[in-house]
Amino acid sequence: MTQGSRRRRVGGCVIASLFLISAMACTGSNSTTATAATSTRTSDTFSGTVAVGGHDVHNFSAAAAGTIDVTLTAVTPASTAVMGISVGLAGDGGCSALAGASVQAVAGSAAQLSGIVTLGTLCVDVHDVGTLSAPVGYTVTVVHP
């Protein structure tokens, strides 16, 4: 096992552990009311070009655990092109998609991918899913803690 794959496996375990802890905390029968911590969300907008069969990756930092929303807002010149969008762990010059954090989408104004992330350096990967016949430009917005 390489150091990069070990790091991705540990990162995935941390995320899975947080989901389990959250699920266990919600099933308790405590009679007090819990108040969720409010964190500031940051919006990062990235643009680039995806070649036929290619992908483009951008890193961003989540300052805390919380909700992430990813919106593919534009693809040009093929505005109806179906693109792949993934959120993952940044490392070793790549982007290893988190389990369940990948979709195929057409550009729009509503988030196409949402979930819960943990503190750390993450990435968004915009890629061809086999539908492109020429390179396209794109814009993707990531709203995160």
Bridge pairing between strands 113-117 and 55-62 = unpaired
Range of the domain at 44: 3-144
Q: Which comes out higher in pLDDT, residue 81 or 28? A: 81
pLDDT over threshold 50, residue 26: no
**Confidence band for 38, pLDDT divided at 50, 70 and 90:** low
* Overall domain count for the chain: 1
What are the residues whose beta carbons fall under 8 Å from the beta carbon of 60, sequence distance 6 or more?
42, 44, 121, 122, 123, 124, 142, 144
Asked if pLDDT for residue 19 goes beyond 50, the answer is: no
pLDDT for the residue numbered 97: 93
Domain of 49, CATH number, reads 2.60.120.380
d(CA 75, CA 138): 4
